[in-house]
Amino acid sequence: MPSNYVKDPAALLDYSWDWSEWLAEIDDTISSATVTVPDGLTAVGAPTVGDTAVTQRVSGGGVDGAYRMVCQIVTAGGLIDERSIYLTIREQ
């Protein structure tokens, strides 16, 4: 799954972090998740947490801005992991 995206500043989009392969290897699921969105972007609502993926709806961003969103999960087995998605904001 890609981790670099281009987003229009007016777009309201969902971004997902997928842990399915890793979780299948260790036979675990996601228990909880936290998504950190930097200043300039807006997290719209709470993240949607599934057994193997987390999705966050995001708006905003300044033209030519570069942003890093971080998702941290805790698995049912007590493991903690973080992954990042990088957004570049461009008029489209």
List pLDDT tens digits, range 75-85: 999 999 999 99
Task: Give residue 1's pLDDT.
Answer: 58
Whole-prediction pTM: 0.94
* Superfamily of domain covering 4-89: Immunoglobulins (2.60.40.10)
- Angle at Cα 14 formed by Cα 20 and Cα 8, nearest 5°? 135
Task: Give residue 69's pLDDT.
Answer: 98
Q: Residue 64 is encoded by which pair of tokens?
A: 């030519």
Going from the C-alpha of 9 to that of each of 6, 49, 55, 87, 88, the distances in angstroms are: 10, 25, 19, 11, 9
Q: Which residues contact 17 (CB under 8 A, 6 or more apart)?
A: 1, 53, 54, 55, 71, 73, 83, 85
| pLDDT-above-70 percentage for the chain | 98
Cα 19 to chain centroid, rounded: 11
For the cut 90, the answer to whether the pLDDT of residue 31 exceeds it is yes
List pLDDT tens digits, range 47-76: 999 999 999 999 999 999 999 999 999 999
Q: How confident is the model at residue 8 (pLDDT cuts 50, 70, 90)?
A: very high
Do 37 and 53 form a contact (C-beta atoms < 8 A)?
no
